[in-house]
Amino acid sequence: MKRRILRIGLTTLVVVLFTGYFLFTTLFFSPFEDDYGYDLSTLIPRDVDFYVSKAGLLQDFDPFPRPAFADEFAASRGGQAVMALPVYRELMESLDLETRLAELDQALEGLPVEIDLLSVFGGRDLALAGFLKGADWAGSDWAAYGRTNWMGKLGVAALGYPDLIGLSDQGITVTETGGVVSLSGGALSRPLFLSRVADVLVVGTTADLVGQAAVLESQRGQDSFGQSAKYVDYIALPKRDDEELEFYLDYRTLAQEQGLTERWPDSSSTEFVPAFFGKLFQRSLVRELMGAVSFGSGVTSTSTGLLSTESMTALQKRLYRARGVDRARIIGERQVANLIPADVGLFAYVNAGLGDLLRQASLSVERDLISNLEDLVREVWGYADLEPLIDELDGAFKDRIGFCLRDNDYPDEGADGPPHNDYVVPAWAVIFEIEDAAKIEGIHTRINANTQSFGISGREPGTHGVFLNTVQGGHRVYEYWSQLIDGTGHVATLELEEFFIVSNNHQMLGAMVRTYYGGTGATPRLGEDRWFQTQIASGLPSMDALLWFDPRAMSPLSRKLTQQWADDALVIDWSVERPRIERKIIKEQFPGETWGSLSSDVEEQLAMLYDAEATRFEEEFRAQNGPALRQRYQKRQDALEILEGALIELSVDQKQFQLFVRLITPFDE
């Protein structure tokens, strides 16, 4: 009897389970269906205008939408400084994140069960792609592709029963065509379309874009973005984990839709930096941008921009045609990075024709300065203009230039050294590679024979101001004294094997010689620094420009500079203050006199009284306003020091550019 009851019970249970499974599968989805086995990019049409994708979002937030590192960031000095910056506050106000997050929290609280949004949609893998339309991003056609769990699948299936889940009560109309569900009406500003491919939920603004996911799945990704040459060649990484963010942008379409027709950088600007760089590059040259950003250890980005050759100037074609420099030319034995002391805060290297750079620089500065330079060239070299001198310099040096910068903490030489002002400056050095040593010697000879023309003199005006020293290995260091040089009062030069180095402190040149040759007491080399070597090795194999930056090594100098910049920015408008002070003195000291029509003896007394009063006013003005301004400048420095190091590399040819960026932060894993 018991066996019979057990058999009946088991049979009934099997029937109930089978019926329930069959009913659930018919009404909703199969609980045992497989996940989509390929990358989300294979569900996206090949011709989209933009694409961005990131896996592992669930671990990036704690909880969503609060970044996992938010507390540590907010507690750090650098993070607090960043959040205090006006540009950061303005960005946060424009995004109005607090309002958006409150709206999201309210919407989630209205659900029958408590959920983490990312656990339902996109937490494992999320992509966004679409087509640009109009000047406003909001008008673009887009689709979001996200991995979902059983709750997401159930939610999509439940859309077939709008009355049951209350959508009808909200005025939302649900229709289904060809496997794509559309939602319209109610609070929706535009219709939304949904479909599902295995565990991938697709939500978008057009039925065609959403529906193509199922088509591409049936074609095994053929004609998808994920199987396009631009994705395979420029975006996909050999080894992908959850830390990478992939991106693609059709920049030409973006520029057309948003009317980005103005030149940038502005090559016609009256300011040197945009005028100079605007001649070397224009954003209108860019057709497409793509690449990946990794957040696994710091921030690392490798991106590619495809260029329009037909839009390039002759100069740009010539510059971009040059072959890049292999990384071995940077960190190899007896190469440029072994000249650089490891304690520098900045190192830059450029592979470009010196003549081309000088010509473009001459076209980007004020005409009065060029006129003065041409007068000097005519006087010293006898040339009619700058062009022959540029040719001479171009022939003397190769097309590779290095630059480094550090704190100018070398001891002051007092009466034995060049006279100078106390303006805070870094110690810097420019490194050229020698092509023709005879031409360099000729330039030395010209300068030495015309020291007065260059403002070069000893301690007394008109005295000899060129000094020759010998450093380790018998190398000659020329010092050119001039009080026109802020902070150090001189410029020094050194020939070291195939390098010619110019610096604003001869003691830095001595340190670079010791660095280069090594040995007892030598300065550690940047080229042998483990962090620097590691980052160079992980970057581009060949490059045309490199920038390495260590904000913390620069910190002592930066703090002195920020105080000086703040003091320089504290400007008194004497056109307003002088009349005010003079009227005050006249009222207190010369009653009955009228400002602007004073007798000569009163004017003389007023001038003496004004000097004392103006000095007192300036001291009070700086005492009252200086600390706050210095603090604002110091916060910028604190914000910069959120970085522990940065490396940027650029490689350019006539078809494309590659950009590698590596940022190290204290929030690394």
Tell whether 569 is covered by a domain: yes
CA–CA distance from 502 to each of 336, 341, 494, 499 (Å)? Answer: 14, 15, 7, 10
Closest CA to 496 of 336, 268, 310: 336
- The model's pLDDT over 286-298, given as tens digits with 9 standing for 90+, comes to 999 999 998 877 7
Give me the residues paired with residue 185 across strands: 172
> Residues 370, 472: one domain?
yes
Q: Which helix (H) or strand (E) holds 347?
A: strand 346-351
The angle that helices 314-321 and 272-280 make with each other, rounded to 10 degrees, is 70
> Strand, coil or helix: what is 561?
helix
Count other Cβ atoms within 10 Å, centred on residue 195. Answer: 23
Q: What is the mean pLDDT of the chain?
A: 85
Six-digit token string for 347? 């190192």
Q: What is the rounded (10 degree) CA torsion for 195, 197, 201, 205? A: -40
Give just the sign of the alpha carbon dihedral 527, 528, 533, 537. positive
> Residues 575, 521: one domain?
no
Six-digit token string for 282? 């224009």
Tell whether 285 is covered by a domain: no
> Strand, coil or helix: what is 649?
strand
- Helices H / strands E in the chain, number of each: 24, 22
d(CA 288, CA 529): 36
CA–CA distance from 17 to each of 26, 148, 508 (Å)? Answer: 14, 25, 83
d(CA 636, CA 658): 30
- The model's pLDDT over 76-134, given as tens digits with 9 standing for 90+, comes to 777 777 777 777 777 777 666 666 556 555 555 544 445 567 777 777 899 999 999 98
Furthest-apart CA atoms within the chain: distance in Å: 134
Tell whether 360 is covered by a domain: yes
Instruction: State the pLDDT confidence band at 23, using cuts at 50, 70 and 90.
Output: very low
> Residues 400, 519: one domain?
yes
d(CA 255, CA 263): 12
Instruction: State the pLDDT confidence band at 644, using cuts at 50, 70 and 90.
Output: confident
Instruction: State the pLDDT confidence band at 173, using cuts at 50, 70 and 90.
Output: confident
- The model's pLDDT over 506-556, given as tens digits with 9 standing for 90+, comes to 999 999 999 998 865 677 899 988 889 988 998 999 999 999 999 888 888
Q: Long-range contact list for 114-119, CB < 8 A, 24+ apart?
A: 115/151, 116/58, 116/63, 116/64, 117/64, 118/57, 118/58, 118/61, 118/64, 119/58, 119/149, 119/151
Q: Which pLDDT score, from 0 to 100, does residue 24 have?
A: 42
> Residues 517, 572: one domain?
no
CA–CA distance from 169 to each of 173, 187, 325, 479, 664 (Å)? Answer: 10, 12, 67, 86, 52
d(CA 402, CA 543): 13
What's the domain range around 108? 73-115
> Residues 367, 491: one domain?
yes
Read out DSSP for 271-333?
SHHHHHHHHH--GGGEEEEEEEEE-SSSEEEEEEEEE-GGG--HHHHHHHHSPPEETHHHHST
Q: What is the rounded (10 degree) CA torsion for 598, 601, 607, 608? A: -150
Residues in the chain: 669
Of 115, 143, 178, the domain-final residue? 115
What are the backbone angles phi and psi of residue 490, rounded to the nearest 5°? -160, 165
Closest CA to 383 of 369, 397, 373: 373
- At residue 443, does pLDDT exceed 70? yes
List the single range of 236-245, 372-381, 461-470 with lowest mean pLDDT: 236-245
Tell whether 167 is covered by a domain: no
> Residues 512, 568: one domain?
no
Tell whether 456 is covered by a domain: yes
Q: Any idea what the Cα angle at residue 316 is, between residues 404 and 301, rounded to 5°?
A: 55
Of 54, 83, 115, the domain-final residue? 115
Tell whether 64 is covered by a domain: no
- The model's pLDDT over 267-280, given as tens digits with 9 standing for 90+, comes to 999 899 999 999 99
Tell whether 452 is covered by a domain: yes
**Mean predicted confidence (pLDDT) in 635-656:** 88
> Strand, coil or helix: what is 27?
helix
Spell out a b/e string for 275-311, using b for 16 or more CB atoms within 10 Å of the CB, else e.
bbbbbbbbebbbbbbbbbbbbeebbbbbbbbbbeeee
The angle that helices 387-396 and 354-362 make with each other, rounded to 10 degrees, is 150
User: Do residues 642 and 632 lie in contact, with contact meaning Cβ atoms separated by under 8 Å?
Assistant: no
Closest CA to 251 of 220, 212, 282: 282
- The model's pLDDT over 572-584, given as tens digits with 9 standing for 90+, comes to 999 999 999 989 9
Q: Which pLDDT score, from 0 to 100, does residue 430 have?
A: 97
Instruction: State the pLDDT confidence band at 640, using cuts at 50, 70 and 90.
Output: confident
CA–CA distance from 423 to each of 75, 429, 565 (Å)? Answer: 35, 18, 11
**Mean predicted confidence (pLDDT) in 131-155:** 84
Six-digit token string for 255? 């520029």
Question: Which position has the higher pLDDT, 11 or 229?
Answer: 229
Task: Give 3-state DSSP helix, strand, coil % of the chain, rounded to 5.
Answer: 45, 25, 30
Tell whether 299 is covered by a domain: no
User: Do residues 97 and 83 lie in contact, with contact meaning Cβ atoms separated by under 8 Å?
Assistant: no
> Residues 492, 618: one domain?
no
Share of the chain above pLDDT 90, in %: 48
Instruction: State the pLDDT confidence band at 75, using cuts at 50, 70 and 90.
Output: confident
CA–CA distance from 578 to each of 348, 574, 617, 621 (Å)? Answer: 46, 5, 10, 14
> Residues 502, 423: one domain?
yes
Q: Which pLDDT score, from 0 to 100, does residue 88 have?
A: 74
> Strand, coil or helix: what is 556?
helix
d(CA 439, CA 358): 17
**Mean predicted confidence (pLDDT) in 326-344:** 89
User: Do residues 316 and 343 lie in contact, with contact meaning Cβ atoms separated by under 8 Å?
Assistant: no
User: Do residues 216 and 232 lie in contact, with contact meaning Cβ atoms separated by under 8 Å?
Assistant: no
- The model's pLDDT over 298-314, given as tens digits with 9 standing for 90+, comes to 788 999 999 999 989 99
Q: Where are the alpha helices (DSSP H) in 412-498?
A: 437-449
Q: Which pLDDT score, from 0 to 100, does residue 111 have?
A: 47
Q: Which pLDDT score, from 0 to 100, does residue 26 have?
A: 44
> Residues 396, 518: one domain?
yes
Q: Which helix (H) or strand (E) holds 349?
A: strand 346-351
Q: Name the domain count of the chain.
A: 3
- At residue 665, does pLDDT exceed 90? no
- The model's pLDDT over 496-505, given as tens digits with 9 standing for 90+, comes to 989 999 999 9
> Residues 373, 419: one domain?
yes
Q: Which pLDDT score, from 0 to 100, does residue 487 have?
A: 95
Closest CA to 491 of 509, 512, 471: 509
Give me the residues paired with residue 496 across strands: 499
User: Do residues 506 and 335 lie in contact, with contact meaning Cβ atoms separated by under 8 Å?
Assistant: no
> Residues 498, 612: one domain?
no
Closest CA to 544 of 474, 452, 649: 649
> Residues 373, 519: one domain?
yes
Q: Which pLDDT score, from 0 to 100, does residue 85 have?
A: 76
Six-digit token string for 643? 């970085």
